[in-house]
Amino acid sequence: MTRFKLTIEYDGGPFSGWQRLAEGPSVQGALEAAVERLTGVRAEVTGAGRTDAGVHAWGQVAHVDIAKPLTADQVRDALNAHLRPDPIAVLAAEVVDPGFHARFDAVRRLYEYRILNRRADLALERGRAWRIAAPLNAPLMAEAADRFIGRHDFTTFRDSQCQAASPIKTLERCVVLRQGEEVRIECAAPSFLHRQVRSIVGTLAEVGLGKRTPEDVAAALAARDRARCGQVAPAEGLYLKAVRYA
């Protein structure tokens, strides 16, 4: 039995999320079906993070155990062949130690959120970014983003259905970058609460629109009250960019 580490990208639009469900297509389910077609054996594909419905990935990481004698390149190419036409691609496969765990061994997860700040509707980027028509003050958003960096109780920015044992998380990076009409928000942490990034982004967007100040954001964080959170940004702008390991 060989354990393979997979680096995966996908368009989350057609899926109910990463996690396999009894009903509805999932990224995990599609990968497991591809593994079964390759090996003839049903095996669990374990991901580093459970992205929600509509959320995309450039660098999701997973592991799977395969008994069939295959090289890493053969696993990558065969899985991609069996995944078509689903919008999922195995970018790389590598043999790892049998004790490697894609989720529990991860030390940092990096998410990126894309906003297109323009009046015109989206055509090529529809389903892959959040369009905000009114002008955004990106420097003020960046100032507000600084309030999130560090170890905090993120109850305000935690989904009401979140099952994490504790709302306390350490946000190592939260930056706002603007290039032309695109505003990108990057967040990095060892782990995240359910919909934490989308909750943060929605509140930062309200700062950019002049509906809140950076001081309001700090007060909302300190309040530890979900009712103080701004709008939750839509799923289609969010990407799991990378997962880091020691």
Residues 129 and 85 placed together within one structural domain of the fold: no
Residues 90 and 123 placed together within one structural domain of the fold: no
Which residue of the set 11, 52, 65, 97 is catalytic? Answer: 52
Can you give the pLDDT at residue 85? 96
Can you give the pLDDT at residue 23? 83
- CATH code at position 49: 3.30.70.580
Can you give the pLDDT at residue 234? 98
- Annotated catalytic, 77? no
The pTM (predicted TM-score) of the whole model is: 0.95
Residues 119 and 235 placed together within one structural domain of the fold: yes
State the total domains in the chain: 2
Per-residue pLDDT band at 163 (split at 50, 70, 90): confident
Residues 198 and 88 placed together within one structural domain of the fold: no
User: Is 223 contained in some domain?
Assistant: yes
176: left (phi > 0), else alpha (psi -120 to 50), else beta?
A: beta
User: Is 90 contained in some domain?
Assistant: yes
Domain housing 31: 2-96
Residues 113 and 232 placed together within one structural domain of the fold: yes
Residues 91 and 111 placed together within one structural domain of the fold: no
Residues 115 and 216 placed together within one structural domain of the fold: yes
User: Is 101 contained in some domain?
Assistant: no
pLDDT, tens digit (0-9, with 9 covering 90-100), for 15-45: 999 999 878 899 999 999 999 999 999 999 9
- Of 125, 141, 146, 119, the closest CA to residue 213 belongs to 141
Average pLDDT, the chain: 97
Per-residue pLDDT band at 48 (split at 50, 70, 90): very high
User: Is 102 contained in some domain?
Assistant: no
Q: How many CB atoms lie within 10 A of CB 61?
A: 24
Provide φ and ψ at 220, rounded to 5°: -65, -40
User: Is 215 contained in some domain?
Assistant: yes
Q: How far is CA 127 from CA 11, 101, 188, 232, in A?
A: 9, 31, 23, 16
Can you give the pLDDT at residue 75? 98
Can you give the pLDDT at residue 237? 98
Does the pLDDT of residue 102 top 90, yes or no? yes
pLDDT, tens digit (0-9, with 9 covering 90-100), for 71-88: 999 999 999 999 999 999
- CATH code at position 237: 3.30.70.660
